[in-house]
């Protein structure tokens, strides 16, 4: 990155097929030219992608760009999670995105979710400062949060347990982020909180995903995107413009960097990063 102080990271999910894996290697190479601070690899609900996540992390780890696995307890016990973290440590991984995660679909009520602050505390207890720890933050508030105040307080709990940074759920309204930052500062959070940026690639998928994770698509944006529903090229051009402007506003307002949900595609993230002048 040209501006050394800004952190840039790109998130991938582990592909299931060999074709998907081959495609992702090309995407990774295209995004590596932007010299990100790290790539991250998601962890399926309940640990459903445990091996795929681990394999991708190991593969990426052989490259110059550091890689951070996402991790949650899922259905695993402490011994299994400790063994997995040990494998990451032995492989030279230095950063973990620590999450509670969600209930895998089709699993009954006996399934226990372990709050992210407990995973952070567990990693610090057993691995000291071997890893830089990232946690999730929600400027528009986690869908299951009892209240705004509670959610901000629980984020503080994750930092108090030893997290170093937070990465946010995506949002399209920069004021949600700036207001959230103010509320975090008010209760004493002084660690970096990096905005998560979702490129606009496919209208229907974006709406479905946003509804499920509680990310708001403002009415004006939803209506514009609707009008491009049958013109994917125009949708992408418009989406690139909107998300570039969002990133500019965030960086001008003091965001410490950007984390892109790439959806395993090089475009439009590459265009947005180029528009922002963040290329090497
Ligand atoms: P927590 O911080 O544990 O919070 C979960 C809920 O419980 C919130 O409503 C919070 O207010 C409340 N809460 C928190 N702590 C406590 C406590 N101590 N006592 C009582 N209530 C509490 N999901 C995946 O499955 N795989 C991924 O790889 C993945 N990566 C993500 C990356 C980022 C950057 C983000 C923002 C989200 C990601 N998610 C991922 C989604 C995430 O797993 C879900 O949003 C999940 O529902 C919450 O995880 P969390 O770590 O934020 O949970």
Domains of the chain listed by start with CATH number: 7-275 (3.20.20.220)
pTM: 0.97
Strands 257-261 and 193-197: parallel
Predicted local distance difference test score (pLDDT) of residue 1: 44
Q: Which of 74, 75, 77, 65 is nearest to 98 (CA)?
A: 74
Ligand 1 contact via 101 beta carbon (within 6 Å): yes
Residue 12 has pLDDT above 90, yes or no: yes
Ligand 1 contact via 154 beta carbon (within 6 Å): yes
Contact, 111 vs 73, CB < 8 A? no
In sequence order, which ranges of the chain are alpha helices (DSSP H)? Answer: 18-32, 50-61, 78-90, 116-127, 148-160, 174-186, 203-213, 219-227, 232-252, 269-275
Place of tokens 């207890």: 125
Task: State which ligand 1 atom lies nearest to the alpha carbon of 71.
Answer: 28
Predicted local distance difference test score (pLDDT) of residue 111: 72
Catalytic residue at 11?
yes
Confidence of residue 114 (pLDDT cuts 50, 70, 90): very high
Predicted local distance difference test score (pLDDT) of residue 108: 62
Answer with the residue of higher pLDDT: 111 or 68. 68
Per-residue pLDDT tens digits for 223-233: 999 999 899 99
Residue 120 has pLDDT above 90, yes or no: yes
Beta bridge partners of 136: 167
Express as a percent the part of the chain with pLDDT over 90.
84
Per-residue pLDDT tens digits for 76-111: 899 999 999 999 999 999 999 999 998 877 766 667
**Residue of 154, 197, 213 to mutate, ligand 1, most atoms within 8 A of C-beta:** 154
Predicted local distance difference test score (pLDDT) of residue 36: 96
Per-residue pLDDT tens digits for 171-201: 999 999 999 999 999 999 999 999 999 999 9
State the catalytic residue, choosing from 3, 11, 19, 134. Answer: 11
Answer with the residue of higher pLDDT: 1 or 189. 189
Ligand 1 contact via 50 beta carbon (within 6 Å): no
Sort 17 into a burial class: Cβ within 10 Å, 0-12 / 13-18 / 19+.
Answer: exposed
Predicted local distance difference test score (pLDDT) of residue 2: 43
Residue 3 has pLDDT above 60, yes or no: no
What's the rounded mean pLDDT across residues 148-169?
98
């Amino acid at each position: 990155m040209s501006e050394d102080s800004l952190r840039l990271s790109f998130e991938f999910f582990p592909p299931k097929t060999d074709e998907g894996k081959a495609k992702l290697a090309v995407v990774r190479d295209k995004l590596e030219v932007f010299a990100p601070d790290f790539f991250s690899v998601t962890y399926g609900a309940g640990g459903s992608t445990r091996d795929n996540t681990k394999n991708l992390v190991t593969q990426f780890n052989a490259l110059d760009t550091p890689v951070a696995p996402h991790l949650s307890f899922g259905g695993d016990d402490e011994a299994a999670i400790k063994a997995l973290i040990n494998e990451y440590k032995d492989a030279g991984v230095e950063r973990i995105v620590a999450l509670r995660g969600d209930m895998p679909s089709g699993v009954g009520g006996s399934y226990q979710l372990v709050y992210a602050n407990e995973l952070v505390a567990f990693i610090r207890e057993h691995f000291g400062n071997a890893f830089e720890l990232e946690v999730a933050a929600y400027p528009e508030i986690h869908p299951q949060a009892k209240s705004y105040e509670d959610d901000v307080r629980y984020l503080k709990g994750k930092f108090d347990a030893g997290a170093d940074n937070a990465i946010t759920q995506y949002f399209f309204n920069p004021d949600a982020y700036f207001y959230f930052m103010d509320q975090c500062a008010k209760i004493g959070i002084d660690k970096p909180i990096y905005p998560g940026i979702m490129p606009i690639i496919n209208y229907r998928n974006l709406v479905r995903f946003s509804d499920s994770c509680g990310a708001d698509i403002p009415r004006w944006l939803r209506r514009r995107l609707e009008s491009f529903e049958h013109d994917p090229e125009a949708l992408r051009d418009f989406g690139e413009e909107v998300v570039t402007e969002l990133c500019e506003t965030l960086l001008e307002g003091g965001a410490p960097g950007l984390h892109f949900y790439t959806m395993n595609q090089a475009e439009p993230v590459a265009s947005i990063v180029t528009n922002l002048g963040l290329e090497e």
